[in-house]
């Protein structure tokens, strides 16, 4: 087996910046570098570019452009939405799911340390929110429910429409973190009556360090980033002009090519799952089998640690992740896998593969071949005696 490959299967951590996006951004560094708030023609040209990007971001979720606020990414958008809504509400209680991204869970933890009541909505073994639990928890006054559109580790896609509907009927604000889902899940904030939605540039082949928060007109939310009067006085800070232009372009490409990309990725995803399950023993698919992101394949391998598989794949030219990308330096159990009840045999052996626009069937075949070699090796070395039914396999 030759190891001269470079196969990137970590597109949930970040994507490359699309060439069209890069070229759209370029002029805004050197020639069209104005401050969109300046009252002269250089500033007006910059303002025009910002408003064009805002219109694109609004369009992909069927919002109005004045409901889109640019941020430094989804982390800021998530911090803003849950702290800002709690701050503006007399009701100091929120509900989140136990499998939200750390930018939500850590914000919620901070709120709870500061006197806010935070409750966690249960998820089932596939990572799907329990609707009976949501309904039960909504019996107490609540100002916000936050449930991600799709999970960053196991790829489970929620029934956002149902959750949004329930919140709307109960007069409770509903926020969804759509960071991982923007290209693959069709979201219509007006039809679904979603109050707020977070997104990020670098998960959709746009630049890093830019994102947006959609806030439904009329929502009571306090400012998070105090400063100048940018973004209607709601988010201070000089506009990151090239990045905002890049985000707008990335979103346009999602709208243009999203369907084609998703069909292709879904085929690769299902092929990858089938190959692993048929060729490797002692595996468990994490997350929902069908209600999952078109690019996410997350498997636990019995008797090994995810970190050792990821490290050996890296040596072979395959870039994957344990799933907890934000904390992958720390060898700790994934709270997402714990919340969905993955048992002790499998919880430390999770590896997340996230397919991208550039992934090919040959990449998947090579990765599966690598996994067969790696697991054979690691399981032979393992102090835990793994006895599989088919010993000549893995």
Closest approach, Cβ 74 to ligand PMP, in A, equals 3
- Residue 211 binds ligand PMP, judged by CB under 6 A: yes
Q: Which two tokens stand for residue 368?
A: 């599966």
- Residue 73 binds ligand PMP, judged by CB under 6 A: yes
Instruction: Spell out, one character per residue from 103 to 142, where the chain touches ligand PMP: x when CB under 6 A holds, - when not.
Output: x---------------------------------------
Instruction: Spell out, one character per residue from 310 to 329, where the chain touches ligand PMP: x when CB under 6 A holds, - when not.
Output: ---------------xx---
- Residue 146 binds ligand PMP, judged by CB under 6 A: no
The answer to whether 209 touches 73, Cβ cutoff 8 Å, is: yes
The answer to whether 144 touches 115, Cβ cutoff 8 Å, is: no
C-alpha closest to that of 295 among 377, 204, 231, 210: 204
The answer to whether 59 touches 182, Cβ cutoff 8 Å, is: no
Among 54, 152, 175, 235, binds ligand PMP (CB under 6 A): 152
- Compute the distance between CA of residue 281 and CA of residue 283 in angstroms, rounded to an integer: 6
**Piece of 68-76, 252-260, 288-296, 316-324 that binds ligand PMP (CB under 6 A):** 68-76
Q: Which two tokens stand for residue 261?
A: 């990309």
Sheet (strand 93-97) strand order? 68-71, 211-215, 196-200, 173-177, 144-146, 93-97, 117-121
Residue with tokens 């029934």: 159
**Piece of 111-119, 158-166, 167-175, 177-185 that binds ligand PMP (CB under 6 A):** 177-185
**Phi and psi of 216, rounded to 5°?**
-55, 135
**Piece of 72-80, 225-233, 236-244, 373-381 that binds ligand PMP (CB under 6 A):** 72-80
Strands, E assignment, 50-107: 68-71, 93-97
Cβ-based nearer residue to ligand PMP, 11 or 261: 11
**Piece of 73-81, 280-288, 327-335, 365-373 that binds ligand PMP (CB under 6 A):** 73-81
- Residue 177 binds ligand PMP, judged by CB under 6 A: yes
Among 9, 60, 63, 74, binds ligand PMP (CB under 6 A): 74
Among 148, 320, 340, 364, binds ligand PMP (CB under 6 A): 148
Buried b (16+ CB within 10 A) or exposed e, 22-57: bebbeebeeebebebeeeeeeeebbbebbeebbebb
- Compute the distance between CA of residue 56 and CA of residue 214 in angstroms, rounded to an integer: 12
Closest approach, Cβ 103 to ligand PMP, in A, equals 5
Q: Which residues bind ligand PMP (CB under 6 A)?
A: 73-75, 78, 101, 103, 148, 152, 177, 179-180, 200, 211, 325-326
């Amino acid at each position: 087996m030759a190891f001269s490959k470079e196969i990137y299967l970590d597109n949930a951590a970040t994507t490359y910046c699309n060439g069209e996006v890069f070229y759209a951004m370029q002029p805004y560094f050197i020639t069209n570098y104005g401050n969109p708030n300046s009252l002269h023609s250089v500033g007006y040209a910059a303002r025009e570019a910002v408003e064009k990007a805002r219109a694109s971001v609004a369009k992909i979720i069927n919002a109005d452009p004045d409901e889109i606020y640019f941020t430094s990414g989804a982390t800021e958008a998530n911090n803003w939405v849950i702290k800002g809504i709690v701050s503006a509400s007399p009701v100091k209680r929120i509900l989140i799911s136990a499998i939200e991204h750390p930018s939500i869970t850590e914000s919620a933890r901070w709120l709870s340390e500061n006197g806010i009541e935070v409750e966690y909505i249960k998820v089932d073994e596939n990572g799907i929110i329990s609707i009976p639990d949501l309904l039960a928890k909504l019996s107490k006054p609540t100002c916000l429910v936050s449930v991600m559109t799709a999970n960053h580790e196991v790829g489970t896609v929620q029934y956002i429409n149902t959750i949004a509907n329930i919140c709307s009927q109960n007069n409770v604000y509903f926020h969804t973190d759509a960071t991982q889902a923007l290209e693959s899940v069709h979201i219509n904030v007006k039809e679904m009556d979603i109050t707020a939605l977070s997104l990020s540039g670098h998960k959709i082949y746009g630049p890093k360090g830019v994102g947006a928060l959609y806030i439904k007109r009329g929502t009571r939310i306090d400012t998070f980033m105090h400063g100048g009067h940018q973004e209607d006085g709601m988010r201070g800070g000089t506009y990151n002009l090239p990045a905002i232009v890049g985000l707008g372009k990335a979103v346009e490409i999602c709208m243009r090519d999203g369907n084609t990309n998703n069909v292709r990725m879904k085929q690769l995803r299902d092929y990858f799952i089938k190959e692993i399950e048929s060729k490797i023993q002692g595996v468990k698919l994490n997350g929902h089998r069908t209600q999952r992101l078109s690019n996410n394949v997350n498997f636990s391998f019995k008797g090994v640690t995810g970190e050792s598989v990821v490290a050996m794949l890296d040596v072979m030219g395959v870039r994957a992740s344990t799933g907890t990308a934000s904390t992958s330096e720390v060898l700790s159990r994934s709270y997402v896998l714990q919340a969905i009840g993955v048992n002790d045999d499998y919880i430390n052996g999770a590896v997340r593969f996230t397919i991208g626009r550039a992934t090919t069937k040959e990449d998947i075949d090579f990765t599966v071949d690598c996994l067969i070699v790696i697991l054979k090796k690691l399981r032979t070395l393992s102090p835990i005696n793994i006895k599989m039914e088919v010993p000549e396999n893995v």
